[in-house]
Amino acid sequence: MNIATQAVQIGLEWDSRTGAVTVPIYQTATFRHPGLGQSTGYDYSRSGNPTRQSLEAGIARLDGAARGFAYSSGMAAITSILLLFKQGDHLIVTEDLYGGTYRLFEQIFSQYGLEFTYLDTSDCQLVEAAIRPNTKGLFVESLTNPLLKVADIRALAAIAKERGILCIVDNTFLTPYLLKVLDLGADIALYSGSKYLSGHNDTICGLVTVKDPALAERVYFHQNGAGAVLGPQDSWLTIRGMKTLTIRLDRQQQNAERIARWLESNPHVTRVFYPGLENHPGHDLMKAQGKGFGAMIAFEVATPELVEKLLLKTELISFAESLGGVETLITFPAVQTHADIEPEKRELLGINNRLLRLSVGIEDADDLIADLEKAFASEA
Ligand SMILES: *Cc1c(COP(=O)(O)O)cnc(C)c1O
């Protein structure tokens, strides 16, 4: 079944008693037992809640996974997955990583004896060369943040499999609609559901899918044990968002391509990073492994003054963190999402004080371009 259909079907099967077409919000902490030693299948909502399970089954279906899991945030999902590792384990990680993930690894998990090496995971040889006897995990962003480098998931998953390393992919920027990382060989896919999956900038949520049933059982043990589960209201909102995932992303991609080409021809813009542009180094790989290029654009303007104009003088486009929603947002990675990375390291990665990031929404592309044009032309 096509993913557009699967997405709409989420939650539809749940309430056979009334035939409700959306899953009910089971706002309950606990469940009555029918008898001694008996259970309806539900005992306590941390361990299992029907609304959350409907979402979990839905994301699993979209990714072709054995099971799915929903957490209270993307960071909670990543934390729960990192609990699969133990003291002394080493992980190889994408270098231009989501800032919050970098902070979690460097300032929290490093205190528990996990070791991390950051490198350009779009270069498989670098990854292979960094493997040590204690390397147990490969943590990759399928499309990096903010510079939109593309990782060859099939090749990385093959390297990981050969060495008995767990291959984990943060596929937030692409979603199962544009890239099915489990089909390409990854063991675990994870998502900040706060972004494209819920899609309306109204929910914080994390999602995980796992291919192997035995590994899924371990992930469930940690989800229930550590307990950062998604509540039923937010599970319901995420399901509602996911039903329109494919049409939102189709429109967002169309808009992103128009805007990227417009930015490329703009004399105030010195560089444009969008994998849908033929000159992007990951363009061919994206075309080969996925179904699209996403709707995130990074671009560098000629002067820091232009940064200020774009952030403050755009009107339709909001100056705000986050991404993936229907509204177009503009961010300044060096001081927002990537503030926790040391300045020298940031500069080295290319996250400088002239770099901006756009999360393109579903508005009319001409209106968005007119908004940018007006901001570029405004008085400082
Ligand atoms: C937002 C984001 C996260 C963190 O997710 P939250 O839902 O904000 O906790 C992790 N990875 C990527 C790529 C993100 O964009």
Ligand 1 pocket mutation pick from 194, 202, 329 by most atoms within 8 angstroms of CB:
194
**Taking the C-alpha atoms of 132, 75, 184 and 286 in order, what is their torsion angle to the nearest 10 degrees?**
-100
Q: Is 194 in the pocket of ligand 1 (CB under 6 A)?
A: yes
CA triplet 337, 339, 341: central angle to 5 degrees? 110
Q: Is 197 in the pocket of ligand 1 (CB under 6 A)?
A: no
Residue nearest to atom 1 of ligand 1 (CA): 192
DSSP-assigned states of every residue in 185-220:
T-SEEEEETTTTTT-SS----EEEEESSHHHHHHHH
CATH for the 245-377 domain, from 3.30.230.10, 3.40.50.2000, 3.40.50.740, 3.90.1150.10: 3.90.1150.10
Ligand 1 pocket mutation pick from 69, 73, 172 by most atoms within 8 angstroms of CB:
172
pLDDT at 105: 98
**DSSP H helix total and E strand total for the chain:** 14, 12
Instruction: Going residue by residue through the chain, which has 380 residues, state the pLDDT in tens, using 9 for 90 and above.
Output: 999 999 999 998 888 889 999 999 999 999 999 999 999 999 999 999 999 999 999 999 999 999 999 999 999 999 999 999 999 999 999 998 898 999 999 999 999 999 999 999 999 999 999 999 999 999 999 999 888 999 999 999 999 999 999 999 999 999 999 999 999 999 999 999 999 999 999 999 999 999 999 999 999 999 999 999 999 999 999 999 999 999 999 999 999 999 999 999 999 999 999 999 999 999 999 999 999 999 999 999 999 999 999 999 999 999 999 999 999 999 998 888 777 778 888 888 888 899 999 999 999 999 999 999 999 999 86
| C-alpha–C-alpha distance, residues 18 and 165, integer Å | 46
Residue 294 region, left (φ>0) first, then alpha (ψ -120 to 50), else beta?
left
- The answer to whether residues 101 and 78 touch, using CB atoms and an 8 Å cutoff, is yes
Q: Residue 118 is which amino acid?
A: Y
Which DSSP helix (H) or strand (E) runs through 125?
A: helix 124-129
The pTM is what?
A: 0.96
Length of the chain: 380
Q: Is 94 in the pocket of ligand 1 (CB under 6 A)?
A: no
Which DSSP helix (H) or strand (E) runs through 319?
A: strand 318-319
Q: Is 259 in the pocket of ligand 1 (CB under 6 A)?
A: no
101: CA distance to ligand 1 center in Å?
8
**Would the CA dihedral through 198, 201, 205, 210 be positive or negative?**
positive
The domains of the chain are located at 3-242, 245-377
Tell me if residue 354 falls in helix, strand or coil.
coil
Q: Is 73 in the pocket of ligand 1 (CB under 6 A)?
A: yes
| C-alpha–C-alpha distance, residues 322 and 18, integer Å | 38
CATH second-level architecture of 3-242? 3-Layer(aba) Sandwich (3.40)
DSSP-assigned states of every residue in 72-107:
SSHHHHHHHHHTTS-TT-EEEEESS--HHHHHIIII
Residue 27: count other Cβ atoms within 10 Å of its Cβ.
12
Ligand 1 pocket mutation pick from 82, 178, 195, 230 by most atoms within 8 angstroms of CB:
195
Which residue numbers are catalytic? 46, 98, 170, 195
Residue nearest to atom 4 of ligand 1 (CA): 74
End-to-end CA distance of the chain: 52
| C-alpha–C-alpha distance, residues 99 and 147, integer Å | 13
Residue nearest to atom 6 of ligand 1 (CA): 74
**Strand order from edge to edge, sheet including 269-273:** 269-273, 296-301, 355-359, 329-331, 318-319
pLDDT at 30: 98
74: CA distance to ligand 1 center in Å?
5
Q: Is 190 in the pocket of ligand 1 (CB under 6 A)?
A: no
Residue 173 CA, closest ligand 1 atom number: 13
Q: Are β-strands 206-210 and 67-71 bridged in parallel, bridged antiparallel, or unpaired?
A: antiparallel
| C-alpha–C-alpha distance, residues 380 and 371, integer Å | 15
pLDDT at 340: 76
pLDDT at 46: 98
pLDDT at 5: 96
Q: Is 152 in the pocket of ligand 1 (CB under 6 A)?
A: no
Q: Is 234 in the pocket of ligand 1 (CB under 6 A)?
A: no
Residue 304: count other Cβ atoms within 10 Å of its Cβ.
10
Residue nearest to atom 5 of ligand 1 (CA): 74
